[in-house]
Chain A
Amino acid sequence: MNRVLSQFVLSKHANRGFRLSKHIFIIPAIIWILAFSIFPLLYALHTSLHSFRFGRINEFVGLYNFVRLFTDANLHSGLRITLIFVAISVSVQMILGFGLAVLLNREILGKNLLRAIMILPLFATPVAIGYLSITIFYEQNGPVNSILRAFGGGNTPWLSNPFWALVAVILVDIWQWTPFVFLVSLAALQTLPDDLYEAAKVDGASGWSMFRYITLPLMTPILTLILLLRLVESFKVFDIPTSLTLGGPGRATEVYSLFTYRTAMRFFDHGYAAAQGFLLLIIVSFIIITLYRRIIKVYE
């Protein structure tokens, strides 16, 4: 009887200890989330409800900073430019990156060298690339215009014309981030099972049919994930337009994050900048949730 009782007591202690240790183990995660996610969010919310003067909180303004989001034409311009930037840049990166990955996922001469060269831009610092691009796109003696002239082209006003400045920013971003799409796509392509292709070949499927009915469906989940990552990153684009054009000419390349940076760090309007941060959060969250549902659907 005593033995049974002592076993019962021991197992009760063990259960309690287990429950306790379970809670102890998740404490670091809770602290991390509280310190680095919840607290900054709450602090940003607090900031967004105040006006600032001389770099200090001036007064409580309620939702005034959020109301400004709907009436600020400069912000809307930044949002419009960001949407154009994201739409073009990410689309081209996805098509180009995946296309190159498909191309280099076969036995061709110098395959490894080409792959290594392809991913080099990924390791460069965006700010450095932005400044380097000032030289590359320099209108009078820059290499791009020199090459264009050699082929009979005109002098393209890369940095002094609103349209071409946006094109320049998009081109630099495409150059830097296409390798990311390429790299992840290639890694995924190499995991696709060979037997499916062999079976298709036996059945006399063409290259296009195999791509259309095997490669693409199998790659859809990973391509959706890449798209998700690129969309989120592109919405936050800051370094390249800041270092290359500083948002100009006029506001032609003033993307959302640059506008927010100026609001916070140049004009010290921290409350409004925080409100802008929340708007970006909502936009990006909407995209993530939409694509997340898509991912779930694909997995199901």
Chain B
Amino acid sequence: MKLTKAYAVVLATTLIVSACAVPQPAPAPQAAAPTPTPVGQEENIAKEVVAGDIKPPVVAQPCEDNCPFKGQTVTVIVNTAGEKGPISGPIYEVREEFEKATGAKLNIVEVPFAEHFPKLLTDLTSGTGQYDASIAGAWWLGDLVGGDYILSYDQWYGDPRFPAWDFEDVLAGPRSLLTYGGKKYMVANDHDGQVMYYRRDLIEDPGHRAAFKEKYGYDLKVPSTWKEFRDVAEYFNGKDLNGDGKPDNGLTMHLKVGGQGMFHFMSFAAPFVIGSENQNLFWFDPETMKPLMDSPGHLRAMETLVDLVQFGPEAMMGWSLGEAWDHFLRGEAALTFTWGDLGALAQQEGSKVKGKTGAAMLPGTNEYYSIPKGQWIKTDSVNRVGNTTGGSWAGVISKFSKAPEATYYLLALMASKPKSLIYAARGWDGVDPGRTSHFLPPDGTAKLEDYLAAGWAEADIKDYTKAYFDNFNAPLQFPYLRIPGTFEYWTALDIHLSEAVTKQKSPEEALKATVADFEAITDRLGREKQKQIYVESLGLKK
């Protein structure tokens, strides 16, 4: 009996201790990373072109006997995507050139998206300095600068010892993400923003045009307002759009929790709230740090987005980027709005929409709710707001780096104009366009031939670059949130958006819940400190 009892005690202790065990780390959830890593139905997704079809030119010459960083090692941490994958691919590609030009060694550490920021922050908080650079998401800057963990490269920019790149070449929208508090921190690389994609062949089809006009009383055209977007989505929903004899959808979105649906809401809601008389107030009141997410403008945006969901497949409430993009690439949706990756993927082998994919700046509204004035304001022309929604993955330099100059050399080399142009043109590397040198005349200085050589259909690339130029150059820009805890705020929005689109909560309840979560996060992180950083991040500091 004693033995039995003793055994039971040991068993109970073991179980209690095992119950305290930390859960295993998460696998790579399809979280906030606008880079194309299709999940689930990979065999069905348009295949990427073979990496290396076109290669960027060599910019840095071998250093021979006079190597500036000989014996140093630069370690870069980047989201897992492999040697031919988005964002990480160009780093592998440039490694040999960098090592020959500097004498330094380049280590590349790939970690799943979900582990990247925790690993980086752990390294920084402990001061280990394991990583010299991170190819970081722009929303991390609130934590990284706020915690005084990264170095400004102001001291090296323009120094002839480093490869030249032009900060001013980056359009105003994405350029604003490279700095924080007036200092330069991120070295330009990727330029994220959401634009609308539409099926050009469907919009231009005479049969559809006549039927649409009969039903809605105006010409079928590229939607310029969200109301028109809804009409076009409604019209095409249920029709066969790719000739397979099956009904298709008006639109596609990615609305899975952790599937970056909150970015959809941000881009979508911007023209309901932002306007000429309210260019900054979207997230918080800078005086009190009270959330503004339940304003009448936000509410109308949420109601409109929830209404739109009926024109997409029900399954998209459980979709991440890969599935949503795949739906469009198969020709099964007429409209979507997402990042530049989709435009590039549409050109690649397996896509059914190459040459049919139009792109335009996101639609707008005819009135917006001005939070400062507390009233709806009608606009003479369509109120359209540009956005830099997404990660805009770019290099930052750790304060604990033992080789900060060599690290900057690497990032500057990748940012150099000849390389950046190729990165933006070929698509597979996840680097989206955002510089004057990426855009076609008259907006920029890029050559159409470069894009055609990379496999683009002429009509598609013309629409695509125009859409991104208009988006990044728009006078009104969506205020990007870059304060400590940004990801936590966005996760709350993501979850409550999911609750709204799956009818677990009404749009109003979802926004109220978002506000409650925002308040709790702000209180925990310190209202006064958050307010100070928020004001600074908006450039409102006097």
Q: Which residues of A contact B (CB under 8 A)?
A: 36-37, 40-41, 44, 51, 53-56, 58, 74, 127, 130-131, 134-135, 138-141, 155, 157-162, 165, 225, 228-229, 232, 235-236, 238-239, 242-243, 245-252, 254, 257, 260-262, 265-269, 272, 277, 280-281, 284-285, 288-289, 292, 295-296, 299-300
CB distance from A155 to the nearest CB of B (A): 8
Point out the residues of chain B lying under 8 angstroms from A248, CB to CB.
256-258, 318, 495, 498
| Alpha-carbon distance A277/B30, docked complex (angstroms) | 26
Contact of B146 among A54, A141, A162 (CB under 8 A): A54
B16/A288 in contact, CB under 8 A: yes
B496/A139 in contact, CB under 8 A: no
A37/B17 in contact, CB under 8 A: yes
Which of B1, B317, B501 has most A Cβ within 10 Å?
Answer: B317
Point out the residues of chain A lying under 8 angstroms from B485, CB to CB.
267
Interface residues of B in 491-511 (CB under 8 A from A): 491, 495-496, 498-499, 501-502, 504-505
CB distance from B16 to the nearest CB of A (A): 5
B4 at the binding interface (Cβ < 8 Å): yes
Contact of B257 among A229, A247, A284 (CB under 8 A): A247
| Alpha-carbon distance A158/B12, docked complex (angstroms) | 37
| Given A56-B147, A131-B27, 20 additional A-B pairs, CB 8 A | A54-B146, A54-B147, A55-B122, A55-B124, A55-B125, A127-B27, A134-B39, A160-B318, A236-B21, A238-B26, A246-B31, A249-B501, A249-B504, A251-B495, A254-B495, A267-B487, A267-B521, A281-B16, A288-B16, A296-B8
A157/B12 in contact, CB under 8 A: no
A160/B315 in contact, CB under 8 A: yes
Point out the residues of chain B lying under 8 angstroms from A239, CB to CB.
24, 27
A289/B12 in contact, CB under 8 A: yes
B23/A260 in contact, CB under 8 A: yes
Contact bitstring B20-36, A, C-beta under 8 A = 1, else 0: 11111111011100000
B484 at the binding interface (Cβ < 8 Å): yes
Point out the residues of chain B lying under 8 angstroms from A140, CB to CB.
313, 315
Contact of B316 among A160, A252, A261, A265 (CB under 8 A): A160
Point out the residues of chain A lying under 8 angstroms from B525, CB to CB.
53
CB distance from B260 to the nearest CB of A (A): 11
Point out the residues of chain A lying under 8 angstroms from B23, CB to CB.
236, 238, 257, 260-261
B19 at the binding interface (Cβ < 8 Å): yes
B121/A55 in contact, CB under 8 A: yes
A267/B29 in contact, CB under 8 A: no
A298: nearest chain-B partner, CB-CB: B4
B498/A250 in contact, CB under 8 A: yes
A284/B15 in contact, CB under 8 A: yes
Contact of A267 among B25, B258, B488 (CB under 8 A): B488
Q: Which 7 A-B pairs have the closest CB atoms?
A: A248-B257, A159-B318, A54-B147, A250-B499, A160-B317, A246-B258, A139-B315
Point out the residues of chain A lying under 8 angstroms from B505, CB to CB.
250
Which of A225, A248, A252, A265 has most B Cβ within 10 Å?
Answer: A248
B381 at the binding interface (Cβ < 8 Å): no
Point out the residues of chain B lying under 8 angstroms from A266, CB to CB.
114, 118, 487-488, 491
| Alpha-carbon distance A142/B499, docked complex (angstroms) | 24
B21/A135 in contact, CB under 8 A: no
Q: Which residues of B contact A (CB under 8 A)?
A: 1, 4-5, 8, 11-12, 15-27, 29-31, 39-41, 44, 114, 118, 121-122, 124-125, 143, 146-147, 149, 256-259, 313-319, 484-485, 487-488, 491, 495-496, 498-499, 501-502, 504-505, 517, 521, 524-526, 529
B4/A299 in contact, CB under 8 A: yes
Point out the residues of chain A lying under 8 angstroms from B11, CB to CB.
225, 292
| Alpha-carbon distance A115/B507, docked complex (angstroms) | 51
B147/A55 in contact, CB under 8 A: yes
Point out the residues of chain A lying under 8 angstroms from B315, CB to CB.
138-140, 157, 159-160
| Alpha-carbon distance A174/B314, docked complex (angstroms) | 26
| Alpha-carbon distance A235/B19, docked complex (angstroms) | 8
Point out the residues of chain B lying under 8 angstroms from A159, CB to CB.
256, 315, 317-318
CB distance from B431 to the nearest CB of A (A): 26
Point out the residues of chain A lying under 8 angstroms from B39, CB to CB.
131, 134
Known: A56-B125, A249-B498. A157 touches B27 (CB 8 A): no
CB distance from B234 to the nearest CB of A (A): 20
Which of B16, B487, B505 has most A Cβ within 10 Å?
Answer: B16
Point out the residues of chain B lying under 8 angstroms from A249, CB to CB.
256-257, 317-318, 498-499, 501-502, 504
A263: nearest chain-B partner, CB-CB: B488
Contact of A228 among B4, B15, B147 (CB under 8 A): B15
CB distance from A153 to the nearest CB of B (A): 15
| Alpha-carbon distance A158/B20, docked complex (angstroms) | 32
Q: List 25 A-B contacts (CB under 8 A).
A: A41-B20, A44-B20, A51-B524, A53-B147, A53-B525, A135-B41, A139-B318, A159-B318, A160-B319, A161-B314, A165-B318, A236-B21, A242-B29, A248-B257, A249-B501, A250-B504, A251-B495, A252-B502, A266-B487, A266-B491, A277-B20, A280-B19, A281-B20, A292-B11, A300-B1
| Alpha-carbon distance A254/B108, docked complex (angstroms) | 34
CB distance from B17 to the nearest CB of A (A): 5
A269/B524 in contact, CB under 8 A: yes
B499: nearest chain-A partner, CB-CB: A250
Point out the residues of chain B lying under 8 angstroms from A54, CB to CB.
121, 125, 143, 146-147, 149, 484
Contact of A246 among B16, B20, B256 (CB under 8 A): B256
CB distance from A123 to the nearest CB of B (A): 17
Point out the residues of chain B lying under 8 angstroms from A225, CB to CB.
11
Point out the residues of chain A lying under 8 angstroms from B19, CB to CB.
232, 235-236, 280-281, 284-285, 288
Which of B1, B20, B501, B529 has most A Cβ within 10 Å?
Answer: B20
B525: nearest chain-A partner, CB-CB: A53
CB distance from A292 to the nearest CB of B (A): 5
| Alpha-carbon distance A76/B118, docked complex (angstroms) | 26
A248: nearest chain-B partner, CB-CB: B257
Point out the residues of chain B lying under 8 angstroms from A139, CB to CB.
313-315, 318
CB distance from A236 to the nearest CB of B (A): 6
B520: nearest chain-A partner, CB-CB: A72
CB distance from A179 to the nearest CB of B (A): 20
| Alpha-carbon distance A51/B487, docked complex (angstroms) | 18
CB distance from B15 to the nearest CB of A (A): 5
Point out the residues of chain B lying under 8 angstroms from A245, CB to CB.
256-257, 318
| Alpha-carbon distance A161/B499, docked complex (angstroms) | 10
B12/A161 in contact, CB under 8 A: no
Point out the residues of chain B lying under 8 angstroms from A268, CB to CB.
118, 121
